[in-house]
Amino acid sequence: GNSYHNELGPIEDVTYENEDSAQLPATAVLMDPHNQHDEESNLAVASFPLAIDGNRDIIMVENYVENNDEMDSFDNMENLFSHPGLEQMREEINWFPESEEVVSKALTNAYMDDEHIHREVMERYQNLEPMEIEASVLCDAYEWLKKQNPMKTNNSEDQQQQNIEDILEGKRLYIQEIVDQMVLAVRYDLIGPEHASMTIHGCAILFHFVLEKDPPETTILVTGMPKTVDTFTLTKTFSEFGEIEGAACASNSRGFGLVRYLRKLSVKNVLNLYHGDEVVVQNVAVTIRQLKTGFR
């Protein structure tokens, strides 16, 4: 007889369903994602993985539907989890053994998040090209990483170790936020699953997570550019080293660029010049890093 609420409207009760159709009340945290419709009772019925005290089970949530608007809302939620791009994205993310759990949590968060979270992702990315989204997310992660300093002056060994552990946990939480954003961006067709996966992999490389399968080493990050540099100038500058698959500058004119070549040899050409002399963009010598495992 407890009452609950979610984005679909008030939930009259949460019960286990067993073979004898006995109903056992449960206090539950609703999570993710396989929605069904009970045509016989004309009730909206949703199956969710259930998390109570760390255990997982299946519950049936009977959520009454009084008008077509609520049913439309329910159908929208069903579409959220049946989007083919999300399944492709799930298959392509392989950056560390917990990736499946992270994606599942992102799907859960997409269902549970307030509308303003969805709106925030839409507003942030809707006017950007896919590679601009990727460059912007990587720029955010890069700037966040620069602010982390595990070896603070005058700290004891124990304090330094705790700082390292705190930073690692911060990285995991940050990656989760990125996956959450990419799930919504794919859901709203702001970015394709391939670019979303590459974005997540790129952030995982920046954070030194161990990848089960390394992505192609054809991408460089360019930092320290004048803030006036745009994607056209970036592409023109680096096309002399080889054929470019795509390039983009991070949003908000932050002097951060991403260049992805068709061949690894092109990256080698850039790095040979960079280590032997310098690479100049709009009369400014920039910093070049290859996006690969062991990123420094």
pLDDT at res. 108: 85
pLDDT of residue 20 exceeding 60? no
112 inside domain: yes
Question: The domain that contains 283 carries what CATH number?
Answer: 3.30.70.330
Please check whether residues 176 and 113 belong to one and the same domain.
Answer: yes
Give the domain extent around 122: 100-150+157-207
**Same structural domain for residues 124 and 192?**
yes
Contact criterion met (CB below 8 Å) for 7 and 111: yes
Is residue 161 included in any domain, yes or no? yes
CA–CA separation, 235 and 249 (whole Å)? 10
270 located within any domain: yes
Assess whether 107 and 192 both reside in one domain.
yes
Residue 1 lies in a domain: no
Task: Name the DSSP class of 241.
Answer: G
- Confidence band of 81 (pLDDT split at 50, 70, 90): low
- The verdict on residue 247 lying in a domain is yes
Count of helices and strands (H, E) across the chain: 9, 14
Mean pLDDT of 44-53: 34
Could you give the CA distance from residue 128 to residue 257 in angstroms, rounded to a whole number?
A: 14
Is the pLDDT score of 45 beyond 90?
no
241 & 195 share domain = no
Q: How many domains does the chain divide into?
A: 2
Does residue 106 fall inside a structural domain? yes
- Position 13 in a domain: no
pLDDT at site 87: 84
Encode pLDDT of 118-168 as tens digits: 899 999 999 999 999 999 999 999 999 988 865 555 667 777 777 778 888
Q: How far is CA 39 from the centre of its chain?
A: 35
Residue 98 pLDDT: 73
Predicted TM-score (pTM) of the model is 0.70
Query: Are both 117 and 199 inside the same structural domain?
Result: yes
In whole angstroms, give the CA distance from residue 105 to residue 60: 19
What does the pLDDT look like over 229-264, one tens digit per residue?
Answer: 999 999 999 999 999 999 999 999 999 999 999 999
Q: Are residues 175 and 245 in the same domain?
A: no
Averaged confidence pLDDT in the chain: 76
119 and 189 together in one domain = yes
Q: Do residue 172 and residue 266 come from a single domain?
A: no
Q: How far apart are the first and last CA of the chain?
A: 57
Enclosing H/E stretch for 14:
strand 13-17
- Say yes or no: 203 and 113 in one domain: yes
